[in-house]
Amino acid sequence: MSNGIKILFGAVLGVLYAACGLLQVVQAIFGTMESLEALFIPGNIFSGSVLLVIGTVFLTGVRKLSIGTEEGMPFIYVGILFSVGIGLVELLALCALGADAYLVGEWADWSAADAVNPLLYLAVIGVLGLLAWGKEFFRGARAA
Amino acid sequence: MTREIRIALTGNPNVGKTTLFNALTGSRQHVGNWPGVTVEKKTGKVSRNGCEFEVVDLPGTYSLTAYSADEVIARDFILDEKPDVVVQVVDATNLERNLYLTTQLAELRTPLVIALNMADMAEAQGNPIDYRKLSGFLEIPIVRTVGTRGEGLQDLLDAAVKEAKTSPHHEHTIGYGNEAEEMIAKLTDPLSADRTLSGKYPLRWLAVKLLEGDENVLAKVRGGAASARVQSILSSINSDEYEATMADKRYEAIAAILPQVHRTNTRGTTFSDMVDRVVTNRYLGIPIFLALMWGAFELTFTVATPFMTVIDTLTVWLAEFAVASIEPAWLGSLIGDGIISGVGAVLIFLPNILILFLILALLEDSGYLARAAFIMDRPLYALGLPGKAFIPMLIGFGCNVPAIMATRSIESEKDRLISILVNPFMSCSARLPVYVLFAGAFFGAHAGGVMFFLYVLGIAVAIASAKLFRSTILPGEVSPFVMEMPPYRLPTAMTSLMHMWSRGSMYLRKAGTIILLGAMLVWALASFPYGVEYGSAESFAGMLGHLVEPLVAPLGFDWKVAVALIFGFLAKEVVVGSLGVLYGAGEESLTDALFADPSLSAATALALMVFVLLYMPCVAALGVIKKETGSWKWTGFAVAYGIVVAWVLAFVVGHLAPFFIGGA
Ligand SMILES: Nc1nc2c(ncn2[C@@H]2O[C@H](COP(=O)(O)OP(=O)(O)OP(=O)(O)O)[C@@H](O)[C@H]2O)c(=O)[nH]1
Ligand SMILES: [Mg+2]
């Protein structure tokens, strides 16, 4: 019964990830669109592809759930894990870049905005999902 | 009065033998959550309550009929070395499969004790084993253990002592049905005539193995007193059929016991099942794997930067200080230009290496490694490699030496040879400094992407080579994928950090030995003959470099790079160390010095990275290739093939790159 919420959650996050991923890849290939940079969507084929993969995981889950198979649930869960995990990686990277700028004395020129990207801020939504459903996902581990 | 008792730990793969071994002996042998971690026997000692024990950890094996190189080691030890007690480590969550081996061990009549390991998991799954009852059925002492927490160790040793002192050991037989029993009786008769054999092994066991068509046992019989009669009996039967019926009988016997000692398996969907449904998905499996790999390299490259900056600053400062203040000047130069610049150039990458090893440890301990092999089975199979071969490939990201050893668990000789030959293309951690240095100097923000490209290129070349070998020099069928998927486990920080450190410290040791040596050698070559300008074209290094330069000039490399590549044969980090020495200690770091060198461009840097990735296995890797293939021919082939492939690809990349990176 809470499936409705999960479908909605997966759909929204999936579409966001996939769209940002697509934009990043397009941006990387066809050059800069100023408006995208303002939205913190830099051109990058690699992270763009990662976004696409995460988006696809969510959307696969949504598709399966909406035709009524419980099979879709793991995709939403794993998508959330994936989103949070990669987000954590990006957060660490951001901190590292900041620390490095400070160490080499370019702190004044450095702005976190340069390093922010969808993998980082979309993960915030992922964290919400983890808080909401993390328990029931991991519980599977014990109650075998 | 205290005789030493020798205990062999055996059991199926991934049941926790090494974990128990470490707990018993205080060793730190490699443990991982995938089948096939241990491929060599390892020995350790303990003394408890005035008793001395020698404990031997063996590779995992599913039966006493060995197929792969690591299984052979396990089987031979138990058969031929005759340990005082065999301890079979059993995974309590997977009794049926594990007890199959028990039925075979019991036939051997060696003193046997079962360590019912992973008891914690079985209990947590709501499926505890009534091990006293099980022990009664099997007539084998059983001790409950939890290897990871060191539970049950004392009981295990006590049981082993008791079992070693009990004799004789009665055989626990499984009836194989009339037809088979008749054949067994027929075979035991001539076998008893062979005194050497019958003195060493139980007759019934020999007969059973012969009936199953066990090559190894047949070889033992051949040439002996029983040879002719046994062979004539065997020639009239179909051993595959007997093997199948006897396996059925064993499973029947197990099936009769199981329901009485634990609840029947009512497993729901576990966490592992759920994750697997996604990560082994037909279409998403590989993209997910690649995305995870991207995350891993993002961590390796970016997160390490501040630490690298610190080490870099320190080395540059130290080198300058040494050159300026140590008298006489040549000593200052040796220490500053040679040792500190050379070793420092390599030490900078310690943060990257540690992070990489941490990631590999997480990969191994979580259980994802076996999944990666599974999802790659489909594409690899089509290209002529079994999916299992992907595991050594991934381990190769750390170091090719253990990776090549890990191929021992591949059953088919040809599959294994191909896996060994292509493994050096997997980009080991020693190559990482080269990438970080050059990608950082020439590709700035895209350094991560460039590194990723190199790793993927390594995999692609490995796979393409496998395909090539399969369709030319090593034709044959690929063996099908058989591998158990271990449950996912949350790696503990402690074990993963320990893994990271045990391997990371090897890098440090290398920096202190072979890399130091290489740096000093290059420094000497760059400083002499006496009186030449340091690192100039007139020095020995210059001469050597100019000698080889024509070979690498088409790739855009100058003599300094040529020298570095030559010494990179010792260990690939030496490439960076040598460049550190040749570019000497200035106010600037090596990165800046390289960037400022007009003979290097982004395209040549890329070509160089490709070349270093592929050009040849380092000395240590060549050593294991020789050891594992037992052939100088294949070892030489690995070198020659690598150099050719590296040259061609570096040439192509160097000439194509300008079109992609804007003619840099
Ligand atoms: N929960 C639990 N995990 C265990 C226990 N013993 C071992 N493990 C885990 O099981 C995995 C396999 O352990 P190993 O000791 O490498 O197994 P092995 O039998 O030596 O494996 P191979 O060398 O591949 O044959 C590791 O992830 C261990 O941490 C146990 O008693 N309980
Ligand atoms: Mg082991």
The ligand with the least distance to the CA atom of B34 is: 1
Q: B291–A54: do the CB atoms touch at under 8 Å?
A: yes
Q: Which atom of ligand 1 is closest in space to residue B37's alpha carbon?
A: 24
Select the more confidently predicted residue: A114 or B498: B498
Q: How confident is the model at residue B59 (pLDDT cuts 50, 70, 90)?
A: very high
Supply the mean pLDDT for chain B: 85
- pLDDT tens profile B125-158: 888 888 898 998 888 999 999 999 999 999 999 9
Nearest CA in chain A to B287: A53
B588 at interface of A, judged by CB pairs closer than 8 A:
no
Please check whether residues B337 and B377 belong to one and the same domain.
yes
Q: What is the mean pLDDT of residues B303-328?
A: 85
CA distances from A45 to A26, A119, B290 (A): 8, 13, 13
Q: Give the pLDDT of residue B170.
A: 62
Q: Specify if B274 maps to a domain.
A: no
B215 and B153 in a common domain? no
Q: Is there a single domain that holds both residue B107 and residue B197?
A: no
Q: How far apart are the C-alpha atoms of B137 and B214, rounded to whole Å?
A: 28
Percent of chain B whose pLDDT exceeds 90: 22
Residues B92 and B9 placed together within one structural domain of the fold? yes
| pLDDT confidence band for B266 (50 / 70 / 90) | low
- Interface of chain A against chain B, CB under 8 Å? 44-47, 49-50, 53-54, 56-57, 60, 71, 73-75, 77-79, 82, 85-86, 89-90, 92-93, 96-97, 99-100, 103-104, 137-144
Cβ separation B294–A56 shorter than 8 A: no
pLDDT at B180: 85
Q: Are residues B384 and B446 in the same domain?
A: yes
Q: How distant is the Cα of A49 from the closest Cα of chain B, in angstroms?
A: 8
Do B606 and B648 contact (CB within 8 A), yes or no?
no
A-chain CB neighbours of B298 within 8 Å are: 89-90, 93
Answer yes or no: do B91 and B58 share one domain: yes
CB A134 within 8 A of CB A6: no
Min Cα separation A108/chain B (Å): 16
Q: Give the model's confidence band at B284: pLDDT under 50 very low, under 70 low, under 90 confident, else very high.
A: very high
- Exposed / middle / buried, residue B314 (Cβ in 10 Å: 0-12, 13-18, 19+): middle
Candidates B373, B318, B315, B400; CA nearest to B349 is B315
* Predicted local confidence at residue B663, as pLDDT: 40
List of long-range contacts for B189-194, beta carbons under 8 Å, 24+ apart: B190/B226, B190/B229, B190/B230, B190/B233, B191/B221, B191/B226, B191/B230, B193/B225, B193/B226, B194/B221, B194/B224, B194/B225, B194/B226
pLDDT at residue B264, as a whole number: 62
B347 and B368 in a common domain: yes
Q: Decide if B607 is inside a domain.
A: yes
Whether B213 maps to a domain, the answer reads yes
CA distance A141 to chain B (A): 4
Percent of chain B with pLDDT over 70: 96
In a domain, B332, yes or no: yes
B664 pLDDT more than 50:
no
pTM of the entire predicted model? 0.84
- pLDDT above 90: residue B14: yes
Question: B30 C-alpha to center of ligand 2: Å?
Answer: 7
Minimum-distance CB partner of B278 among A47, A78, A89: A78
- pLDDT for position B268: 63
Q: Which residues of A touch B305 (CB under 8 A)?
A: 96-97, 99-100
> Phi and psi (nearest 5°) for B53?
-125, 140
Task: Determine whether the shortest distance from the Cβ of B362 to ligand 1 is under 6 A.
Answer: no
Q: Which helix (H) or strand (E) holds B346?
A: helix B341-347
One domain, residues B116 and B46 = yes
Distance CA B249, CA B265 (A): 21
Q: Is B117 in the pocket of ligand 1 (CB under 6 A)?
A: yes
- Specify the CATH number for the domain of residue B204: 1.10.287.1770
Q: Which of B292, B298, B314 to mutate to test the interface with A (most CBs of A within 10 A)?
A: B298
CA of B212 to the centre of ligand 1 (A): 30
In a shared domain, residues B244 and B336: no
B297, B149: one domain = no
Binned at pLDDT 50, 70 and 90, residue A36 comes out as low
Do residue B65 and residue B193 come from a single domain?
A: no
Q: Which residues from B are below 8 Å from A75, CB to CB?
A: 277-278
Most confident range, picked from B57-71, B558-572, B623-637: B623-637
Cβ of B83 below 6 Å from ligand 1: no
Helix axes B447-471, B285-298, angle to 10 degrees: 130
The CATH number linked to B147 is 3.40.50.300
Q: B288 vs A137: CB contact, 8 Å cut-off? A: no
B244 Cβ neighbours under 8 A, 6+ residues apart = none
pLDDT digits (tens, 9 = 90+) for A66-101: 887 778 888 998 999 999 999 999 999 889 988 888
Higher pLDDT, B635 or B543: B635
Q: For residue B184, what are the domain limits?
A: 178-251
pLDDT tens string B492-501? 888 888 888 8
Residue B261 lies in a domain: no
Instruction: Provide the pLDDT for residue B637.
Output: 93
CA of B33 to the centre of ligand 1 (A): 6
What's the total number of domains in chain B? Answer: 3
Task: Using the predicted structure, report yes or no on whether residue A142 has a pLDDT greater than 70.
Answer: no
pLDDT value for A141: 43
Nearest CA in chain B to A99: B306
Nearest CA owner, ligand 1 atom 17: B16
- CA torsion B74-B75-B81-B82 (nearest 10°) is 110
List chain A domain ranges. Answer: 3-136
DSSP string computed for B495-511: HHHHHHHHHHHHHHHHH
Say how many C-beta atoms besides its own lie within 10 A of residue B620's C-beta. Answer: 17
Asked if the Cβ–Cβ distance from A96 to B267 is below 8 Å, we say no
For residues B518 and B396, membership in a common domain is answered with yes
**Cα separation, A74 vs A79, whole angstroms:** 8
Which residue would you say has higher pLDDT here, B632 or B437? B632
Residue B271 lies in a domain: no
In this prediction, residue B417 carries a pLDDT of 92
Closest CA–CA distance from residue A89 to any residue of chain B (Å): 6
Residue B1 has pLDDT above 60, yes or no: no
- Token pair of A117 as six digits: 């990207």
